[in-house]
Amino acid sequence: MIVGLGRIGLRLATLAAAFGLRVIGVRRSPEPQPGIEAIVRPDQLHEVMAQADIVALTCPLTPETENLIDAKALAAMKPSALLVNVARGKVVDEQALIAALSEGRIAGAGLDTFVEEPLAAASPLWAMSQVIVTPHSAGETRAYETNVVDLLVENLGKLARGESVLRNQVV
């Protein structure tokens, strides 16, 4: 299951489908997309989480997605399921995730983003054998350096024009 079907989520769906995986997407506007078996609205999240072997988060951080993956959402997951967060740290309630992992209510997690970055040295996530921690590098590509400079220039222009909504803005 992929939560957030923007550019990154759709690309992940294409790759997953190429490997023969069933893909269910979660998106505010559930129009059909190639390679995705079903698309549901966020209010159906918990229903489809129970079916997922992997829950991948690629959504933006908005008021609606902050703590989207809370204790209730984690409880809806299969005990054998994995959570992968390449979205934003605040999409996941970290304390609820730590509890779910500690109690074996989900099998594991791959985490590229955290509420506070870098992840504190004292975080229990570091010591969990069923957790893979990466340093907010999921977006790194060969074109990253060029793209990040273009993004910076675009956002500086917006700020100079008095605009307050920026590209890739973190809430």
> Which pLDDT tens digits describe the chain residue by residue (171 residues)?
999 999 899 999 999 999 999 999 999 988 888 889 999 999 999 999 999 999 999 999 999 999 999 999 999 999 999 999 999 999 999 999 999 999 999 999 999 999 999 999 999 999 999 999 998 666 655 666 677 788 889 999 999 999 988 887 754
Nearest to 93 by CA among 115, 61, 70, 124: 70
Cα separation, 57 vs 101, in Å, equals 17
- For residue 131 the two structure tokens come to 């957790």
The C-alpha R_g of the chain, in whole angstroms, comes to 17
Expressed as residue numbers, the domain containing 148 is: 141-171
Check whether residue 133 and residue 167 sit in a common domain. no
Check whether residue 118 and residue 129 sit in a common domain. yes
| Whole-model pTM over 0.85 | no
Domains: count for the chain: 2
- Enumerate the active-site residues: 88, 117, 136
Check whether residue 53 and residue 91 sit in a common domain. yes
CATH code for the domain of 119: 3.40.50.720
Q: Residues 41, 59: contact at Cβ < 8 Å?
A: no
Cα separation, 37 vs 138, in Å, equals 25
Check whether residue 79 and residue 154 sit in a common domain. no
Check whether residue 155 and residue 128 sit in a common domain. no
Check whether residue 114 and residue 166 sit in a common domain. no
